[in-house]
Amino acid sequence: MKKINIILIIGTLAFFSCSGLKVISDHDQSVDFTKFKTYSYYGWTDESDQILNRFDKERIENAFGEEFEKRNLKFVEKDGDIIVSLFIVIEEKTSKTAYTNHYNMGGMGGYYDYDFGYSPGFGMGMGTSTTHFSESEYEVGTLVCDVFSSETKKLIWQGIGTGTVSDNPEANERGIPKAVAYIMKKYPVNESK
């Protein structure tokens, strides 16, 4: 099998929750995905240890494993009908917000009209406004699942989930399976009932 490149950006491990998870996918329309019965993992690159700890790698693989089994695919160590490649990209982002308070301190005013003389003013006079700025940093994680045909060595499906990350192990325990399930909803074979 040709070497499949896995891209990893080095950073702090975190994983995204499902709230606000954006999922996109694409697949080869000419492929009959129902003919595949087994899958194998391509594996993680050495650099992945700098992003993923053992626990999160297992959480991700187990979550995808459960989703593939729901679609009648069995895991085999090697030479599966499809090869699954997983990778993560983590990017640091900055959010900027501004909030303006408007305080009208002025009172009733008046003006002089050349035709009619002095007229009372209606409305508030000059006021003040204060704008508060704030910045916050956060991480965005992108989990990519590439599925290759073992026979043709070509990419036949790609599912991508992008969302804000969390470095909380309990949140990852709950969030990873949900995020993977959202990604796999786009897989061309539905869950079997």
Is residue 118 assigned to a domain?
A: no
- Which pLDDT tens digit goes with each residue over 8-29? 322 223 444 445 789 999 999 9
- C-alpha distance across the termini of the chain, in Å: 34
Check residue 45 and give its pLDDT: 57
- Which pLDDT tens digit goes with each residue over 154-168? 999 999 998 877 777
pTM as predicted: 0.68
Question: For residue 151, which of 84, 83, 94, 90 has the smallest C-alpha distance?
Answer: 83
Question: For residue 144, which of 65, 84, 86 has the smallest C-alpha distance?
Answer: 86
Beta bridge partners, 128, equal 103
Question: For residue 141, which of 103, 111, 100, 171 has the smallest C-alpha distance?
Answer: 171
**Residue predicted with more confidence, 125 or 189:** 189
Is residue 144 assigned to a domain?
A: yes
CA distance 80 to 156: 14
> What proportion of the chain, given as a percentage, has pLDDT over 70?
60
Is residue 67 assigned to a domain?
A: yes
**Residue predicted with more confidence, 52 or 32:** 32
The total of structural domains in the chain comes to 1
Is residue 24 assigned to a domain?
A: yes
Domain residues for the domain of 166 are: 15-95+135-184
At 100, the amino acid letter reads T
Q: What is the CATH number of the domain that holds 44?
A: 3.30.160.670
- Which pLDDT tens digit goes with each residue over 78-125? 999 999 998 887 776 566 676 666 665 555 555 555 555 555 555 455
